[in-house]
Amino acid sequence: MGELILIRHGQTEWSLSGRHAGRTDIPLTDAGEATAKSLAPRLARRHLAAVFSSPLSRAVRTAELAALTDVRADPDLLEWDYGGYEGLTAAQIQEARPGWDLWRDGVMPGDAAHPGEQLQQVGARTDAVLDRIRPLLADGDVAVVAHGHLARVLTVRWLGLDASAGRLLGHPHPGTLSFLATEEEQPFVAAWNVP
């Protein structure tokens, strides 16, 4: 059985400054492009049965620079829709909502482009992704290029935990790899946030 390889897209200006970039299409920085290129040799050693990516350009470009081929864009891999918090840092949100925690308190509705999404909706999307990926793992590894919060939710759903358990994982750094596997049919995290 193959492993599910989670790739967080390379650095963007917003990831560098800590701004919530859900559905806003932010390009990679020069450093983000360099990091994405550096992933290619490690990924080239893997037998990839399939590759999926968020349709946002920061993920698509990361896949391209990492020399991944036959990449399938999957809208279920879009980042959490942060609604009215799109573009804000956690500190800015906490100025208006002291003690705010994304995992506990969620987001407030935004405009038509960023209506907002509840955690359980993100969990349902990642469940749909996992339902499509699990059968493919019989043929090798599957790579997924996506986003930080989405990767955390997908990982805990892989483990059979509630989506809120995503708070227990550190936020993956841009341009890092994480590996999800099974042993005796039990899911586990083989590695997390590997540069």
Which residues have a catalytic role annotated?
Answer: 9, 79
In the numeric block, the tokens 């358990």 are attached to: 165
Secondary structure letter of residue 174 according to DSSP: T
DSSP per residue, 112-139: TT-----HHHHHHHHHHHHHHHGGGGGG
**Which residues, at least 6 apart from 76, have a Cβ–Cβ distance to it below 8 Å?**
125, 126, 128, 129
The span from the CA of 22 to the CA of 86, in Å, is: 6
Secondary structure letter of residue 63 according to DSSP: H
The span from the CA of 76 to the CA of 129, in Å, is: 7
70 class by beta-carbon count within 10 Å (0-12 exposed, 13-18 middle, 19+ buried): exposed
